[in-house]
């Protein structure tokens, strides 16, 4: 009986609600449906983002030719297609043969010759090189350093530049470095930009470090060499400079511009823009307090456009070339905004064609009009994807450091941020150590993605960051555990004053020098952080010095080897291994097996220490990855495990 009573009450309630709903529909206007909720960026969505690379201007200067690489996660690879977009109309067309569309920079200006490069066997290394009867030997024999670099062991081959008749097969080309144990293009990342034709087609200018073995790994001294194709003679054009000299480029007037660092062994020195004209070298940025990243000649040969870090972004600049007049060159900033201008692709008319990114957007190609100062987006490869993804808000914050300086800190907030709520917060520690922390877009350390998982991200432009003056950039060298570590703490402590930051849920994450920073902070943080993530970070500076490949880097940044007393402060006070006794916080360690810059012993030693101390800890070992994570499926494992750890520990 009671059940029927309940049933009657329910039926009456349903009828009452339906009747009132009908009345409301008559009495009130229809409510518009809410806009579909945008998606939070996720690891899977990040790997739906296509990568856009500008290849150059078409031969008629009317189109930009570009490549779109698409991750194929199921195949653990990438596919790519080439397109061109009309600069004026925006019409996009498929390109089947890019070489037919683009200027051939390897063809000499007179059309008679072509350049090429290939790996050439120069030195014996393998067991079978020394013992021909043992062809199945896997032995490798070395008598000097430079036995491995980045992610590859030295197999006795060197990159060499060749030239020959434009109509002949390249197998007949002449090797201009024949028999020499020197590289051009430079390993590991050099390409065809390392060699060019002179405007008169009579010579080839190329970049090379002409030292080898143990000497080579202690030096950054690359030079520009000019090879005369008629005589075979080679002239060193930059012999007086002992640091990096790279990126040669001729103007329409025959003047040779290039990038130059002054100090041998200092890979993060100020990068100046120089020009050799009529045998005289001019430094166009000598009086300018920043560092040039990339450049291009103006069509008239009287000025150059370049990119550089400034105040937490990468922007476009212009410098004039006064030549032999007594007028000093003038540097002028052309653009300003919360974005990064990554690459200059080409010039046409008043337009500079570039690749541009922000923390919320992957690279697309834009034009910038130097007269109207107007930006135009030329490609929209990922526009539709991003329409459905909620943006993270990025905000500039200026924090007073312990030595009284003003430091820029990027703060990235979750989409839909509510200041009345409390959020777990991550201190992001940038690598380098001297790489700019700007409006970058990463497919691994993606701050938009981190924020979209519900974290506030604090990203300080600590000491060692380009874009805040040469002195600020240099201060980190030989001071790894000094002021820059205090800068990190100043940033997280300042942001933690906000009511929306949950101070009981702070984490610190980073890779490379950022990984070192995490290892170091783990021993000195005084209970600030609840969890740590360190990827490919230096843990033990003794074994780091003994196993890394570019010795010039540790010689400059550590001061030299651990056996020299003058360097004892670095190896004693700034060495994470000496602070492990104070580790008391969960730590997740990631290490690439083919990382020869920060070799695998660093991550393995740190994991061993954490485990033996009884800390909650985890190791992600990537045997076929280098200092980065390249393969799509490894990258997704990286992302999923990253956020899984944060959910468990933060």
Contacts of 186 (CB under 8 A, 6+ apart): 159, 194, 207, 208, 209, 222, 246
Measure Cα distances from 99 to 105, 107, 110, 311 in Å.
10, 12, 18, 38
User: Residue 315 in contact with residue 307, Cβ under 8 Å?
Assistant: yes
Q: Return the CA Rg of the chain.
A: 28
User: Residue 517 in contact with residue 509, Cβ under 8 Å?
Assistant: no
Q: What is the distance between the alpha carbons of residues 555 and 219, in angstroms, rounded to a whole number? A: 10
Catalytic residue chosen out of the listed positions 512, 538, 617, 635: 512
131 an active-site residue? no
Catalytic residue chosen out of the listed positions 525, 595, 617, 635: 595
Q: What is the distance between the alpha carbons of residues 357 and 361, in angstroms, rounded to a whole number? A: 6
Contacts of 226 (CB under 8 A, 6+ apart): 198, 203, 204, 205, 234, 235, 237
Measure Cα distances from 430 to 98, 286, 440, 547 in Å.
36, 28, 11, 23
535 an active-site residue? no
Backbone angles phi, psi at 266, to 5 degrees: -105, 100
Residues pairing with 592 in the sheet: 622
Q: What is the distance between the alpha carbons of residues 173 and 171, in angstroms, rounded to a whole number? A: 6
Catalytic residue chosen out of the listed positions 126, 578, 579, 627: 627
**DSSP label at 172?**
G
3-state secondary structure of 535: strand
**DSSP label at 180?**
-
Contacts of 13 (CB under 8 A, 6+ apart): none
627 an active-site residue? yes
Contacts of 577 (CB under 8 A, 6+ apart): 539, 540, 541, 542, 605, 609
Distance from the Cα of residue 591 to its chain's centroid: 18
- Catalytic residue ranges: 512, 595, 627
């Amino acid at each position: 009986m009671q059940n029927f009573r309940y049933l009657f009450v329910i039926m009456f309630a349903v009828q009452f609600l339906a009747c009132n709903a009908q009345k409301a529909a008559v009495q009130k206007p229809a409510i518009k449906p809410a806009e579909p909720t945008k998606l939070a960026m996720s690891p899977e969505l990040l790997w739906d983002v296509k990568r856009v690379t500008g290849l150059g201007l078409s031969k008629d200067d009317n189109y930009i030719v570009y490549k779109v690489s698409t991750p194929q996660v199921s195949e653990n690879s990438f596919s790519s297609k080439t397109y061109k977009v009309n600069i004026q109309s925006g019409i996009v067309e498929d390109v089947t043969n890019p070489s037919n569309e683009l200027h051939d920079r390897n063809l000499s200006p007179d059309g008679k010759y072509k350049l090429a490069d290939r790996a050439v066997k120069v030195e014996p290394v393998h067991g079978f090189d020394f013992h021909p009867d043992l062809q199945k030997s896997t032995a490798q024999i070395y008598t000097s350093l430079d036995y491995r670099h980045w992610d590859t062991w030295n197999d006795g081959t060197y990159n060499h530049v060749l030239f020959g008749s434009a109509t002949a097969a390249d197998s007949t080309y002449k090797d201009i470095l024949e028999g020499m144990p020197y590289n051009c293009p430079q390993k590991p990342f050099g390409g065809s930009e390392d060699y060019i034709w002179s405007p008169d087609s009579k010579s080839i200018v190329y970049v090379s470090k002409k030292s080898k073995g143990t000497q080579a790994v202690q030096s950054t001294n690359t030079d520009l060499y000019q090879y005369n194709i008629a005589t075979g003679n080679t002239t060193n054009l930059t012999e007086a400079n002992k640091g990096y000299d790279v990126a040669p480029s001729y103007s329409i007037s025959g003047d040779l511009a290039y990038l130059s660092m002054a100090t041998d062994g200092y890979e993060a020195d100020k990068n100046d823009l120089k020009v050799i004209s009529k045998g005289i070298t001019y430094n166009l940025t000598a009086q300018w307090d920043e560092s040039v990243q990339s450049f291009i000649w103006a069509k008239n040969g009287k000025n150059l456009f370049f990119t550089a870090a400034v105040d937490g972004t990468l922007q476009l600049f212009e410098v004039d070339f006064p030549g032999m007049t007594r007028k000093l060159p003038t540097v002028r900033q052309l653009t300003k905004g919360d974005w990064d201008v990554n690459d200059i692709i080409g010039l046409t008319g008043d337009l500079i064609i570039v690749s541009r990114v922000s923390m919320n957007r992957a690279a697309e190609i834009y034009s910038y009009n130097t007269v109207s100062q107007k930006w135009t987006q030329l490609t929209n490869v990922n526009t539709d994807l991003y329409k459905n993804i909620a943006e993270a808000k990025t905000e500039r914050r200026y924090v007073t450091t312990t030595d009284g300086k003003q430091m820029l800190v990027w703060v990235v907030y979750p989409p839909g941020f509510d200041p009345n709520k409390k959020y777990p917060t991550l201190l992001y520690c940038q690598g380098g150590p001297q790489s700019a922390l700007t409006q970058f877009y990463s497919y691994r350390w993606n701050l938009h993605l981190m924020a979209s998982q519900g974290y506030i991200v604090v990203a300080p432009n600590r000491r060692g960051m380009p874009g805040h003056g040469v002195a600020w950039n240099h201060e980190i060298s030989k001071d790894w555990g000094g002021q820059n570590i205090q800068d990190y703490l100043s940033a997280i402590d300042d942001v933690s004053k906000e009511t929306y930051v949950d101070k009981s849920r702070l984490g610190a994450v980073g890779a490379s020098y950022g990984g070192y920073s995490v290892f170091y902070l783990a021993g000195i943080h005084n209970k600030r952080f609840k969890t740590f993530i360190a990827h490919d970070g230096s843990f033990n500076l003794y074994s780091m010095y003994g196993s890394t490949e570019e010795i010039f880097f540790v010689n400059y940044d550590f001061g030299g080897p651990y056996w020299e007393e003058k360097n004892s402060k670095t190896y004693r006070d700034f060495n994470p291994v000496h602070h492990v006794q104070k580790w008391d916080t969960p730590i997740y360690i990631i290490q690439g097996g083919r990382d020869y810059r920060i070799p695998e012993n660093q991550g393995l030693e740190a994991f061993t220490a954490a485990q033996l101390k009884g800390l909650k800890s985890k190791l992600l070992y990537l045997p076929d990855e280098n200092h980065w994570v390249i393969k799509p499926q490894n990258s997704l494992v990286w992302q999923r495990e990253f956020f899984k750890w944060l959910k468990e520990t933060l």
